[in-house]
Chain A
């Protein structure tokens, strides 16, 4: 392991890394555009020039490997001068667009100019103006703003494995262009907006919607498939404005797919249940009620069945769309507290194939976020329909979470055979309409908890939004129900439930809500 010095700071680094990697790894900033940790080094932007040993010329930090005893200087007059000049070149034809540029606030040209550039422009000539191009899909190319780092071009070649973009012409005339006949509708496209260091690639979905510094970032997990990509929910005024990828080298590395990126639209303008509902005996209609009433209706019914020794008629359906905490609480209430034995998992069958791209990034065919967790906690049986048909079930507790849930006519008929149906769900699904008690719960952005992804990694997501009306996060509803049976219950939050889960299930042994941190932990 070579030992090097950067700005007088002695560092021991991995063999074969570049100066830039060594610096970034150790919290030393060297400005750069074309370097991206997931992409091939091209050394084209020249912004990362540094002074090395006695080399008469400045060397690009991104393309120079460290050698033992190397001495690097990043703050000398010569280096600053080079940076200032390079930034000046970038700005010669750059428009003064910041007020209407969505990148402003997270733009590396702004940041670097502010830190390393000059406050005045010496360029008095007319600027080159190139019209904005629509690249299809959700992408606009503001050509005037490009710094020609080719990150976007390399992304499609190296990460996706299917070239879409190309640099046309050379030198001054260089221009990002799309291959003829192609449109940027590829599922990985949204990532180029994130890796573009400037506001050249802009997402129409976010266009002019908000300034980035006004958005709050909440760490979450994409519920779009079982890959469990780490994401940021970026929100303001109780509304999500965009979703961005969150780096986790064990899961999604730097990327997310567009299904996940725009998934928040799925939860907008839904037919939300905003209050607990109940059906009066023999009535066709559901009527609004209070939480207290709804919970005691479920509790009383179960207590009745228990007294009549009919608990074998009770079945509980957990969900691959719900968190581990929610599914686990079902086992606590119905299993440990009441002694029910019939547990099922609602998880739609997997259709299609996983899609893997060149870098190994995979979009999973399983469109549920927590099949593994739910099956681990509740078993793999999902055929509750069969059991209802055989008349083995009279009381059903259904934990939903799939806002796209649809029922066949046959299934609706089967539900009518039940004596009592409790549905805990986000929207008025056909299932909820047939229920005796409906418990409205928040969707993933309104709740917190953990999911287990397809590789068995337990990951935490946090609540970004306040749910509408009387809606409560699923864990809180189930804790209320639990408390109805066990008034001295100590658990009050998802964290408590997770810690209880970790203590009682060997696969989760040694984990805690806190220890999961931002990047999660593998199942034992």
Chain B
């Protein structure tokens, strides 16, 4: 069986290694003068592009009440089965049904946006919020109040200007 030698045979210049080192350093130095991508998180915040799918909010209607009508379309569509809706008779004259309880287990949520897609009332939406964390599992099971608060802190597009105290996240 004959053996055919293929591949690269270094020349004597290559064997010096100096040109290759210089070439590498040139690339490194050239980056000193290019645009910087590193963000000094958390002092500095990365602003996600439009359409980013971050943490969930529950929208408010024009009277400031939860817009959700408790239809459970979102929890039905949710592939992670992390939404719990307990519907009930609304306490208002102009609306019939509302969510008595609305909970999302953010530990299980995969931020897929199916809930937003399924909602017939535009009541649930994904936001720019990506920086949410908690000290316990309970911290990340968000109730109706927390989800409505997410609306309040993101609706004007100024989420990243708000302080930690203000966002509670």
Q: Please report A residues at the B interface, Cβ cutoff 8 Å.
A: 98-100, 104, 207-211, 213-214
Contacts and interface: CB of A to CB of B under 8 A. Distances in A.
B48 interface: no
21 contacts: A99-B69, A99-B71, A99-B73, A99-B97, A99-B120, A99-B121, A100-B70, A100-B71, A104-B71, A207-B89, A208-B70, A208-B87, A208-B88, A208-B89, A208-B96, A208-B97, A209-B87, A211-B71, A211-B72, A213-B76, A214-B76
Contact of B96 (A100, A209, A214): A100
Max chain A C-beta neighbours (<10 A), residue from B70, B88, B96: B96
B86 to A, nearest CB: 9
B69 A211 contact: no
A210 B70 CA distance: 10
B33 to A, nearest CB: 57
B127 to A, nearest CB: 23
Interface string B15-35: 000000000000000000000
Interface string B116-138: 00001100000000000000000
Interface residues of B, number: 13
Nearest to A97: B96
A100 B76 CA distance: 15
B85 to A, nearest CB: 9
Contacts of A98: 71, 120
A98 B97 CA distance: 12
Contacts of A213: 76
In the A-B complex, the 5 residue pairs with the closest CB atoms: A99-B71, A100-B97, A211-B72, A208-B87, A208-B97
A164 to B, nearest CB: 25
Nearest to B119: A99
Given A100-B69, A208-B96, 7 more contacts: A99-B69, A99-B121, A100-B96, A210-B87, A211-B72, A211-B76, A213-B76
Contacts of B96: 100, 208
Nearest to B99: A208
Max chain A C-beta neighbours (<10 A), residue from B70, B71, B76, B88: B71
Contacts of B72: 211, 214
B124 to A, nearest CB: 12
A151 to B, nearest CB: 24
Nearest to B100: A208
Contacts of A100: 69-71, 96-97
Nearest to A204: B89
Nearest to A96: B120
Interface in B48-96: 69-73, 76, 87-89, 96
A98 B119 CA distance: 12
A221 to B, nearest CB: 30
Max chain A C-beta neighbours (<10 A), residue from B73, B89, B97, B121: B97
A104 B73 CA distance: 11
Nearest to A214: B72
Interface in B29-51: none
